[in-house]
Chain A
């Protein structure tokens, strides 16, 4: 199978970027999308050109490091998968595939398809933890947590931090990411004590980083590889309102 990749190339954060087209032949349908890019890079090396920078690590959909815009959609044409889980069988022979980095003010481009998502780390840093030191924990079964609550916390905790929610949002909002983390910790008994502080600090940091507001378009939920529900945002907003009204 043969395709044409139209790929965003940008030397460094300050350089002006542009699309470049590359024809790649000899692909198979079983190859993953990233393996097709690997093959292209090998060909570029042999042609004495610089390789395209793109990110990945686990290549099994869990580390969250991969992620590009493919034909106008975060992580490609399917809902709820990561870029590394996309296979060439999802494309037609002869197709032109446009590949771009995440575009968001809070995610500056480093090189080619690589962006800086450290804003997410700083949101986590501002309050996504339980302030207990190693060695201070009570016996695990001493605080029962009903299955529904544990399951709900797990649903929210599944976020892999890829940034597709931001990239697919026309406002570049990080509400899905932030609310999921807040709800994970705030729904558990261990996280309750710091819940209002967590809510305030994390949303404050989110605004500080330059992410936009949520206007409920719902694109994030569709592109999110973990299917994190947009209900998380509503729940976070409700908690916020409640706090404002009742302190």
Chain B
């Protein structure tokens, strides 16, 4: 199958405009007759659902949480980028595009990345109008700060709760449309399978998480907005309920999965403290604006941080990357931390952390300023660890975070299944092999609010004439029956090990072999180990309770069953890429200085995997760099 990216003609600046000029429009009377299912209610899902409803479509929106307001976009702390150039520091759409493309190590599509930057400025206008209380100067204008991987200040923020404020704005907008009876909301409802009729996405099977019953919903198009899948590592910065199941079901029904192994490991999370731990809390990257990262120069130094004199501290990011210093991109900062920790310089009780120190910033700007900038983050740190970071440096450590990979989508955000779209973190589009800080809220919002509502019409225009699908179609029967069999099977195993046991095992394998650094040998071993784990799961897992009730254990079990299979694909993907790029670091491919060694001649493509009865076939979308010449990505 030829992957057609559908990138429009013209110069970079003209592409999006050209696309919109040529795409088909639908008159308001006809929009009412068209229905769209949106799965997920985070920034991209709620943004898409609200905006499509405003345009007149008939919308159904689903989320597994008790309310749309819980979606994990809520947890993004640091901010959202936009090329407003308010700080008069030389920013522009083109510079933002270039930073993002370079940040992704030249493994994303130029046209998509440019569009992301292009639509960033109107997005800030949008959120301000929706009542987001962004940080302001005394005079009333908007404030910006810098973030990793860039040298201008283009990040907008609302204290350390930017994601929360953006999500609540989109949640409000969504509920406005629910009130207007244009959106039907289904909370506590989880997509269990996708229904494809004559090759087109026409509906979903849902499990009602309160009654446990399976339900059917049909529509003219389906939009997945289900977020990232880093819970495959079990310990991650994600919410516990985040899962990859909707993506995985779509993948098994024909949607190609792109670059599944591109996973961002965030450099500044709180370190793991025990085996029972369920999640790793993120400390916003914005802290690296003012905090300095260091470890002792001496191995296994057991002195208190304040007793270690300046000259015995190794500010390793400033040392290795003098021009970006503590603001080096995430993949680089994480790897550098891992390098120091592995070499025996780690600090903290389990020697698995590095220091993030605010002493100099407090001396320079005063305590009040630092409190104003990061107060709630310091509070959060204190609540979790019991430690006051105004007087003692924070302990931080890398943690699995963002999925750059996801369902392959074209310029219209449509997957390889016609009528199935993927927006936000669950698609692979703009970030390449590494995402820049504060670009995630941006991409989720731009996808949902601005792009999808202007591309879905191009598909739906042709669906007006088609009969609207109904849930008594044989494909619905089939999908529901398959889902039922799957659940019955899980409940019938009645083995000896808990779901969490298997999740911990999967997490260990993935973290060991498919996280910050990877090797051919390790990945091959991991694939075998996961296959064994899969067999073991299907023979020995134990889930109590029934299907037809609220059963949180059953939910965990079917999500994990999909994570296990996804884990195999992630390792397979990492194995085929004999190069290092961005977050994908293969130990065999590095420079003498230990930096990533990209192999553009062979690997300048997006891997897109087709599911084939338990095997995966590789397709390649070659990346054309028409406007920018890929260079060695240096932050030195």
Query: A residues near B, CB below 8 A?
Result: 11-12, 28, 30-32, 34-35, 38-39, 41-42, 44-46, 48-51, 53, 55-65, 81, 85, 87, 89, 110-111, 114, 116-118, 120-121, 124-126, 128-141, 143-147, 150-151, 153-154, 157-158, 160-161, 184-185, 188, 190-191
A109 to B: closest C-beta gap in Å: 11
Name B residues whose Cβ lies closer than 8 Å to a Cβ of A.
47, 50-51, 54, 65-72, 74-75, 84, 86, 122, 124-126, 128-131, 133-142, 158-159, 161, 163-165, 168, 171-173, 175-176, 178-179, 187, 210, 239-241, 273-274, 276-279, 281-282, 380, 383-384, 386, 449-450, 453, 496, 498-501, 542-545, 549-553
Is the pair A59, B453 in contact by a Cβ cutoff of 8 Å? no
Q: Which chain A residue shows the least CB distance to B135?
A: A150
Whether A125 lies near B128 (C-beta < 8 A) is no
For A12, what are the chain B residues with a Cβ–Cβ distance below 8 Å? 549
Contact: A126 with B179, CB < 8 Å? yes
Among the interface residues B84, B164, B545, which one has the most CB atoms of the partner chain A within 10 A? B164
Q: Given A53-B550, A85-B383, are A137 and B274 neighbors across the interface (CB < 8 Å)?
A: no
Q: Is the CB of B277 within 8 A of A114?
A: no
Query: Nearest-CB distance from B69 to chain A (Å)?
Result: 6
Residue of A50, A58, A81, A143 near B70 (CB, 8 A) is: A58
Specify the main secondary structure of chain A where it touches its partner.
loop
The answer to whether B553 touches A140, judged by C-beta atoms less than 8 angstroms apart, is no
- Asked whether B140 lies within 8 Å of A145 as measured between CB atoms, the reply is yes
Closest to B143 in A: A147
Chain B residue nearest to A63 in the complex (CB): B70
A151 to B129 CA separation, bound complex (whole angstroms): 16
**Nearest-CB residue, chain B, relative to A154:** B133
Q: Which residue of A lies closest to B282 (CB)?
A: A60
Cα–Cα distance between A120 and B69 once the two chains are bound (Å): 10
Cα A51 to Cα B86 with chains together (Å) = 53
What 6 A-B pairs come out closest when comparing CB atoms?
A144-B140, A137-B129, A129-B172, A137-B125, A153-B133, A154-B133
Given the contacts A53-B552, A62-B74, A137 and B137 also touching, CB distance less than 8 Å: no
Assess the A125–B133 pair: CB atoms within 8 A. Answer: no
Q: Give chain B nearest CB distance to A62 CB in angstroms.
A: 5
Give 26 pairs: A residue, B residue, CB < 8 Å, sorted on A. A35-B277, A39-B276, A46-B496, A51-B552, A57-B72, A57-B240, A60-B75, A60-B380, A81-B383, A85-B383, A111-B550, A129-B172, A129-B173, A129-B176, A130-B130, A133-B54, A137-B129, A137-B130, A140-B142, A141-B86, A141-B141, A144-B141, A147-B138, A154-B161, A154-B165, A188-B131
A161 to B175, alpha carbons, bound, how many Å? Answer: 15
Decide if A58 touches B54 in the complex (CB within 8 Å).
no
Which residues of the partner chain B approach A154 to less than 8 Å between Cβ atoms? 133, 158-159, 161, 165
> Is the pair A55, B129 in contact by a Cβ cutoff of 8 Å?
no
Chain A residue at minimal CB-CB distance from B132: A157
Determine the residue in chain B with the shortest Cβ distance to A12: B549
Known: A38-B278, A57-B240, A125-B175. A158 touches B161 (CB 8 A): yes
Chain A residues with CB under 8 A of B173: 129, 134
The reply to whether A65 and B70 form a contact with Cβ atoms under 8 Å apart is yes
Q: Are A120 and B67 in contact (CB under 8 A)?
A: yes
**Chain A residues within 8 Å of B47, by CB:** 134
B398 CB to nearest chain A CB (Å): 17
| B270 CB to nearest chain A CB (Å) | 9
Q: Measured between C-beta atoms, what is the minimum distance from B315 to chain A in Å?
A: 28
B140–A146 touching, CB < 8 Å: yes
Residues on the A chain within 8 Å of B543, using CB: 45
Closest-CB distance, B209 to chain A (whole angstroms) = 10
**Chain A residues with CB under 8 A of B273:** 30
A157 B168 Cβ-Cβ under 8 A: yes
For the complex, give the distance between the alpha carbons of A184 and B54 in Å: 24
Structural contact, A57 and B241, CB atoms closer than 8 A: yes
The distance in angstroms between the C-alpha atoms of A18 and B463, with both chains bound, is 54
Q: How far is the CA of A81 from the CA of B382 in the complex (A)?
A: 11
What's the minimum C-beta distance from A202 to chain B, rounded to whole angstroms?
Answer: 12
**Closest approach, in angstroms, between the C-beta of A165 and any C-beta of chain B?**
16
* Apart from the given pairs A60-B380, A134-B47, A154-B165, 7 other A-B contacts in the complex at a CB distance below 8 Å: A45-B553, A58-B74, A62-B163, A121-B69, A141-B142, A157-B165, A185-B131
- In the complex, what's the smallest C-beta–C-beta distance from B275 to chain A, in angstroms? 9
Distance in angstroms from A42 CB to nearest chain B CB is: 5
Which A-chain residue is minimally distant from B376 (CB atoms)?
A: A158
Q: Which residue of A lies closest to B69 (CB)?
A: A161
B50 engages A124 (CB within 8 Å): no
Q: A63 touches which one: B75, B158, B179 (CB < 8 A)?
A: B75
Q: Are B65 and A65 neighbours in the complex by a CB distance under 8 Å?
A: yes
Q: How far is the CA of A145 from the CA of B550 in the complex (A)?
A: 46
Q: Complex Cα distance A8/B239, Å?
A: 25
Distance (whole angstroms) from the CB of B85 to the closest CB of chain A:
11
